């Protein structure tokens, strides 16, 4: 750094102490605008993050259109993309691609009873075929998950909270619990598994965000053998109630399963998508599928985007916050211009003494950048306060609004960039001042 540049840098920092009222006002305006943007940007980044980091990137939701042909009295507009399968089709697709790990699952409410019947625990459970717990990263504290050979075995994996509620301090591994009309042997104790949002099975009328989480995991066929009928979103061929019942399920008539495949690379995804389309075409050619061939394969991010899981209100609030920041920047630019023009005589003397225009610009930009940095430091507690206010609102997803340390660096970088941006025009105007005219006013 040259001596002239260092001198201009020092003058810019000393300029912060002059006209303190306008500087304080500039810092406050920048801090408010930055805090508003960072609060909403933090919430949006939390909501847009992968629900299961390290696992969700490999998961893909598959779907083929097995629905009946549309009738004239039914609207063709879909509010959300369809995703449900019949059990027969889900098992046929799994058999068609045995080299790919797949699972067909449903999330449902059920009650688990202790062997003596004195204790019971109600909550959400996942009924799944294939290696669902391993595919979705369900953590194991003790025991194991079920194997492919145990599709009809009456085994169950329960959460630690459920185990404590049913057995107290007794080790539950190897013990029996009663679910539906059957006894199931506990083979594993799972840790907390609560993806946000609950992307694996969207329930109609139930928000994707919230505290609800599955605490019981059962093999699908074993659950059906024990007369456990899932109470969940269904799409049935029959009219009226569509085959719906709280204690029965029409396996031939209803679509009620979500099919997920683990596809770790592009080649596997391409091959599976081709197999999915081939299956849909074969069923349509056989007259089983009445509609035109339609198959879809969604990544987790694409599936969340298709269902508009991130609330529109969050994006709208972010746009409003950006508008507030822009308004603050315009006002700060005006304040900085007034500060620099009021010191026109000083800057003119520097020009007369040989300082180039670039040196004057550096002095002004250093002052503007320093004001932005101070605004960023002040925006840090204001952002934390804004996130606290967001968490006070009970919208299911608002608990995710928590400040992360890595965002502090982004906040500082944004604040300095904002300060430099709003200081460019005032600095250019100050550097273009004719020195002779300014010296005459002294």
Of residues 75 and 136, more confidently modeled: 136
Please give the full DSSP string across 298-360, using - where no structure is assigned. EEHHHHHHHTT-S-HHHHHHHHHHHHHHHHHHHHHHHHHHHHHHHTHHHHHHHHHTT--HHHH
| Collapsed DSSP state (helix, strand, coil) of residue 186 | strand
pLDDT digits (tens, 9 = 90+) for 319-357: 999 899 888 888 887 887 777 666 655 655 555 555 566
Q: What percent of the chain has pLDDT over 90?
A: 37
Mean local confidence (pLDDT), 277-295: 93
Of residues 419 and 385, more confidently modeled: 385
Mean local confidence (pLDDT), 13-32: 77
pLDDT above 70: residue 100: yes
Mean local confidence (pLDDT), 72-90: 76
Mean local confidence (pLDDT), 362-369: 75
From 118-122, 314-318, 361-365, the region with the lowest mean pLDDT = 361-365
CA-CA distance, 124 to 104, in Å (whole number)?
A: 17
So what's the pLDDT on residue 425?
67
So what's the pLDDT on residue 75?
46
pLDDT digits (tens, 9 = 90+) for 57-77: 999 999 999 998 876 555 455
So what's the pLDDT on residue 260?
97
Question: Whole-prediction pTM value?
Answer: 0.78
pLDDT above 70: residue 3: no
CA-CA distance, 202 to 34, in Å (whole number)?
A: 35
Quick one: pLDDT band at residue 404, thresholds 50, 70, 90?
A: confident
From 223-227, 253-257, 303-307, 367-371, the region with the lowest mean pLDDT = 367-371
pLDDT above 70: residue 436: no
Mean local confidence (pLDDT), 250-260: 90
At what angle are helices 20-48 and 312-342 packed, to 10 degrees? 160
pLDDT above 80: residue 101: yes
pLDDT above 70: residue 169: yes
| Every domain of the chain and the residues it spans | 3-50+311-440, 66-262
CA-CA distance, 377 to 389, in Å (whole number)?
A: 19
So what's the pLDDT on residue 319?
92
Of residues 395 and 57, more confidently modeled: 57
Of residues 50 and 426, more confidently modeled: 50
Mean local confidence (pLDDT), 186-194: 93
Mean local confidence (pLDDT), 255-274: 95
So what's the pLDDT on residue 242?
45
Average pLDDT over the chain, rounded to an integer? 82
């Amino acid at each position: 750094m040259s001596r002239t540049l260092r001198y201009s840098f020092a003058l810019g920092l000393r300029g912060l102490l002059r006209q303190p009222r306008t500087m304080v006002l500039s810092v406050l305006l920048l801090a408010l605008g930055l805090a508003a943007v960072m609060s909403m940007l933090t919430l949006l980044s939390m909501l847009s993050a992968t629900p299961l980091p390290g696992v969700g990137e490999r998961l893909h939701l598959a779907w083929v259109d097995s629905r009946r042909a549309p009738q004239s009295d039914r609207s063709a507009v879909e509010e959300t993309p369809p995703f449900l399968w019949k059990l027969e089709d889900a098992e046929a697709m799994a058999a068609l691609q045995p080299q790919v790990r797949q699972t067909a699952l449903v999330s449902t409410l059920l009650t688990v009873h202790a062997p003596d019947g004195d204790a019971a625990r109600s909550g959400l459970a996942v009924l799944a075929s294939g290696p669902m717990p391993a595919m979705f990263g369900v953590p194991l504290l003790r025991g194991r998950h079920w194997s492919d050979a145990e599709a009809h075995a009456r085994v169950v994996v329960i959460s630690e909270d459920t185990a404590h509620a049913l057995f107290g301090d007794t080790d539950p591994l190897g013990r029996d619990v009663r679910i539906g009309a059957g006894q199931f042997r506990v083979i594993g104790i799972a840790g907390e598994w609560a993806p946000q949002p609950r992307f694996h099975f969207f329930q109609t009328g139930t928000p994707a965000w919230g505290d609800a989480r599955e605490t019981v995991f059962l093999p699908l066929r074993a659950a059906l053998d024990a007369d456990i009928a899932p109470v969940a979103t269904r799409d049935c061929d029959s009219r009226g109630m569509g085959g719906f019942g709280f204690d029965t399920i029409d396996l031939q008539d209803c679509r009620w399963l979500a099919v997920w495949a683990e596809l770790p690379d592009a080649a596997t995804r391409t091959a599976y998508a081709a197999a999915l389309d081939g299956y849909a075409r074969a069923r349509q050619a056989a007259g089983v599928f009445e509609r035109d061939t339609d198959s879809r394969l969604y990544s987790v991010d694409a599936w969340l985007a298709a269902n508009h899981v991130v609330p529109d209100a969050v994006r709208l609030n972010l746009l409003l916050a950006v508008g507030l920041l822009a308004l603050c920047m315009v006002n700060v630019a005006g304040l900085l211009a007034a500060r620099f023009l009021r010191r026109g005589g000083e800057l003119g003397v520097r020009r007369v003494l040989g300082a180039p225009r670039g040196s004057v610009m550096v002095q002004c930009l250093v002052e503007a950048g320093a004001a932005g940095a101070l605004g960023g430091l002040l925006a840090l507690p204001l952002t934390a306060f804004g996130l606290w206010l967001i968490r006070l609102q009970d919208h299911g997803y608002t608990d995710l609004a928590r400040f992360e340390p890595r965002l502090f660096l982004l906040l500082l970088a944004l604040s300095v960039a904002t300060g430099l941006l709003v200081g460019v025009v005032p600095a250019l105007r100050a550097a273009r001042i004719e020195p002779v005219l300014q010296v005459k006013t002294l």
